[in-house]
Structure 1
Amino acid sequence: MDDRLRQRFDGLWARTTGAAGAEAAWRALDAGYGEAARHYHGWRHIADLLQGHDAVRALPDFAELDHDAIDLAIVYHDAVYDTARADNEARSADLLRAQAGPQADSDPIRAAEAMIRATAAHGPSADPATRLMLDLDLAVLGAARPVYEAYAAAIRCEYAAVPDAAWRIGRAAVLDRFLARPRLYQTDPFRERLETSARANLVAELHALRADRPSVE
């Protein structure tokens, strides 16, 4: 893990909560993101989202948003990740609130908490910051095909305990729900850049899942 990620977190924590508790907060995050079973939802995923955020934060569509709150949401949104549970997003948001201590009800913490909870459904949002955060989280869907295939393979590894037949059915249902949406990306910059490639990637994986061969070559 790049030391710059830790330095960025320390600065973010100091700006949003005060310096107190930064070490304990980091240790809790590292205990999750550093798990060997995190084939996709690890520190690399967080670093990629932060990098993606940096690439667009100055665009006119996003320039006025609370970018510290978005960064907090990025850092904490997968802090708790157990493939056997359905409440990971709520538990991740609760972890942020617990570690923020007296600042738990401050504007950036409450905003980040709401964004984290929104990742449970990735549904339409009326909040511009949430729309951006959700689009950042789904940006991998529109990545170049080799990157997307590596992502899909990593997700399968995280669900290695699920038998292949059940995996195909469950994963296909997830992809079907995404493809049924009128739009995958809620912000115009992401939609213009990634919507077409994301749909192509989802369709390709879906066809592979329903074929008599492995879902990712």
Structure 2
Amino acid sequence: MNAPWRARFDELWGRTVRGNGAEAAWQALDAGYGEAGRHYHGWRHIADLLEGHDAVRALPDFAGLDHDAIDLAIFFHDAVYDTARTDNELRSAALLLTHAAPAAESGPIRAAEAMIQATAAHAPSDDAATRLMLDLDLAVLGAPRPVYEAYAAAIRREYAAVPEAAWRFGRAGVLDRFLARPDLYQTRPFRDRFETAARTNLAAEADTLRAGHTGEEA
């Protein structure tokens, strides 16, 4: 992760945690996002979300949100990522609370914790900041086709231990559940920009999986 993002994290930590521990927190994040198996859920993913947040934070739709809490959630939301487990979001949120102590009960930290846990299901949220965080996390679904295909291939590499037939079945089911939602995105700017392309991308990948091919073989 380059120096500007590290500087951003240190400043964010100082504003929200208001104490020591930035170095230890950063090292914990770097240990996670720097793991060899992070073909998608690595530092580049975090940088993409931070850049996406910067691009929209001034929009009227997002006025008044706690953007520091959103940034904290971005930094920590995939800090723990083990494809063999189902509690990664819970453990990522716990990592934030551990490093933020004794400020763990403060508003921004608790808000970020809730946003991190919300990424487990990406369910509709009543909280405006959470809606933005979730949309940022799903923006890749509406990316241009080559970017989307690179994303899908990277996810497959992260699940390399899963046999091909099981992968095709399971991944297609995940895509179908997303496609069955009335809206993929929970905020107007993201729906306007990404909804149509995301549905096209998801449907195309699902069709390819059911045809018996991976994105890399297509």
Q: TM-score per shorter chain, which class?
A: over 0.9
* Mapped partners of 2:77, 2:212: distance in 1: 35
Tell me what 2:182 maps to.
Answer: 182
Superposed, 1:1-217 pairs within 5 Å as 1-216=1-216, 217=218
Q: Deviation digits for residues 109-150 of structure 1, max 9, x if unmatched?
A: 000000000000000000000000000000000000000000
Residue identity (%): 76
One-letter amino acid of the structure 1 residue matched with residue 43 of structure 2: W
* Mapped partners of 2:51, 2:58: distance in 1: 13
What are structure 1's unaligned runs of at least 5 residues? none
One-letter amino acid of the structure 2 residue matched with residue 9 of structure 1: F
Q: Is the 8 A contact 2:168 2:214 kept in 1?
A: no
1:103 alignment partner, SS class: coil
CA shift in 2, pair 1:102/1:19, >3 Å: closer
2:121 alignment partner, SS class: coil
* Mapped partners of 1:94, 1:34: distance in 2: 19
Shift of 1:214: 2.7
* Mapped partners of 1:159, 1:118: distance in 2: 22
How many pairs does the alignment contain? 217
One-letter amino acid of the structure 2 residue matched with residue 136 of structure 1: L
Deviation >6 Å, runs of 4+: none
Q: Is the 8 A contact 2:149 2:215 kept in 1?
A: no
One-letter amino acid of the structure 1 residue matched with residue 80 of structure 2: V
What are structure 2's unaligned runs of at least 5 residues? none
One-letter amino acid of the structure 2 residue matched with residue 53 of structure 1: H
Q: Is the 8 A contact 2:50 2:74 kept in 1?
A: yes
Q: Is the 8 A contact 2:69 2:112 kept in 1?
A: yes
Shift of 1:100: 0.3
2:101 alignment partner, SS class: helix
Shift of 1:63: 1.9
Q: Deviation digits for residues 56-111 of structure 1, max 9, x if unmatched?
A: 00000002100000000000000000000000000000000010011000000000
One-letter amino acid of the structure 2 residue matched with residue 94 of structure 1: A
Report the TM-score, using the length of structure 2 for normalisation. Answer: 0.98
